[in-house]
Structure 1
Amino acid sequence: MLSVENLHYSYGAIKALNGISFKVDEGEIVALIGANGAGKSTTLSNISGILHPQQGSIKYRGTDISKLPPHKVVEAGISLVPEGRRVFSRMTVLENLEMGAYIRKSKAEVNESIENVFTRFERLKERRNQLAGTLSGGEQQMLAIGRALMSKPKLLLMDEPSMGLAPMLVQEIFSIIKEINDSGTTILLVEQNAYMALSVAQHAYVLETGAIALSGTAEEMANNPAVKKAYLGE
């Protein structure tokens, strides 16, 4: 479904990505794990069109998307849940969801998707007319996920969905991630919480200073001594 080949990206003299390659098969959850500054968010920014690779290719269903602007990437079927949630704080919950559906033409289908989000996130339904900036961190994360789902993506990119959340909410967010995947959406998950990421993923890649250091099934990564020591606190 998604194939990243020899991806390079630098911020000035700082090399953020140094020739990484990985793939995401349809129906999977694939986790990218690694420390701060490893290049995880830069990878997602390149896939989503926010940044463009300086070398290498990004192919989605066989088509190179590495030069597409973000709105064209969304139209192709890829949506991003950004790091830090990035909800539109001065807009209501409902308005945020409507913004997520900007590429869709049918009002009836948009309304149906809004109701689907409210069925999945009942707390958002209760707060549909509340300003997004007044929501709790967990509710904002749910809104960011709901907004990304409004474009009906085939591939959902998630950047640190558990960041800054209480442990109980982290469990809830990962249950939602699993549920979204079970309902047919492929997920590329960037996450510092390696334990939770590996618990829901099928495959995983470990990024270290802009390069893939390890890769394999999520089970293999969870049992790998180097991964245990560096990321699982063992």
Structure 2
Amino acid sequence: MLEVNDLNVYYGAIHALKGISFHLEEGEIVALIGSNGAGKSSTLNTISGLLRSRTGEIKFQGENISETPPDEIVRRGIIQVPEGRRIFAPLTVTENLEMGAYIHNDRVQIEQDMEEMFNRFPRLRERRKQTGGTLSGGEQQMLAIARGLMARPKLLLLDEPSMGLAPLLVEQIFEIIQDINKRGTSILLVEQNAQMALSIADRGYVLETGKIILEDSADALLENPLVINAYLGG
């Protein structure tokens, strides 16, 4: 479904991604794990078209999207839920969800999608008239994911969904991610909580200073001494 080949991305003179290559099959959850500054968010932003690679290519469903504008990438079905939620704080929960559906014109379908989001996230139904900025961190994360789903993604890019959340809420968010995947959406998950990410992923890649240093099944990575020592508190 997604094929990333030889990405080299720079911020000025800083070489952020150094020849990154990986793939994701339809229906998979693939985790990208690594410490802060490893290049995880830069990878997602390059796939989304927000950053450009100097080399290589990105293929989605067999088509090269390396030069495709971000809005067209959204229309093709790749949706990113950004790090730090990035909800529209002055808008209500309902308005945030409507913003997620901006590429669709069928009003009836949008209303049905919104009802589905309220069924998946009952807390958002209770808060639907509240502005996004008044929600708790966990509620904002649910809203960010629901807003992404309103675009009806084929591939969902999740950037640090557990950041800043209490452990109980982290478990809840990861259950939601598994449910989204079971309903047919492929997921590329960037996450510092390696234990949680690998516990729900099919496969994983470990990034270090802009390079992929390890790739394996999620189960194998959970038992890999390198991963245990560096990322699982071993």
TM-score if structure 2 supplies the norm length?
A: 0.99
Shift of residue 177, structure 1, vs aligned partner: 0.3
For residue 107 of structure 2, what is the aligned residue in structure 1? Answer: 107
Paired residue secondary structure (1:158): strand
Shift of residue 55, structure 1, vs aligned partner: 1.2
Alignment of 1:1-234 (within 5 A): 1-234=1-234
In 2, Cα distance between the equivalents of 1:132 and 1:216?
Answer: 38
Q: Deviations over 1:23-46 (max 9, x none)?
A: 000000000000000000000000
Shift of residue 227, structure 1, vs aligned partner: 0.3
Paired residue secondary structure (2:56): strand
Matched letter for residue 13 of structure 1? A
Q: Deviations over 1:56-86 (max 9, x none)?
A: 1000001111111111011001101000000
In 1, Cα distance between the equivalents of 2:115 and 2:65?
Answer: 31
In 1, Cα distance between the equivalents of 2:149 and 2:64?
Answer: 23
Paired residue secondary structure (1:55): coil
In 1, Cα distance between the equivalents of 2:8 and 2:107?
Answer: 40
Greater CA drift, 198-207 or 48-57: 48-57
In 1, Cα distance between the equivalents of 2:96 and 2:125?
Answer: 13
CA RMSD of aligned residues (A): 0.5
Matched letter for residue 221 of structure 2? M
Shift of residue 51, structure 1, vs aligned partner: 1.1
In 1, Cα distance between the equivalents of 2:68 and 2:137?
Answer: 31
TM-score if structure 1 supplies the norm length?
A: 0.99
Structure 2 residue runs without a partner (length 5+): none
In 2, Cα distance between the equivalents of 1:73 and 1:202?
Answer: 24
In 2, Cα distance between the equivalents of 1:40 and 1:54?
Answer: 17
In 1, Cα distance between the equivalents of 2:109 and 2:49?
Answer: 26
In 1, Cα distance between the equivalents of 2:17 and 2:80?
Answer: 19
Matched letter for residue 6 of structure 2? N
Shift of residue 174, structure 1, vs aligned partner: 0.3
In 1, Cα distance between the equivalents of 2:67 and 2:101?
Answer: 23
Structure 1 residue runs without a partner (length 5+): none
Matched letter for residue 203 of structure 1? R
In 1, Cα distance between the equivalents of 2:114 and 2:65?
Answer: 28
In 1, Cα distance between the equivalents of 2:54 and 2:162?
Answer: 30
Deviation >3 Å, runs of 4+: none
Greater CA drift, 15-24 or 64-73: 64-73
Shift of residue 12, structure 1, vs aligned partner: 1.0
In 1, Cα distance between the equivalents of 2:54 and 2:39?
Answer: 14
Aligned residues: 234
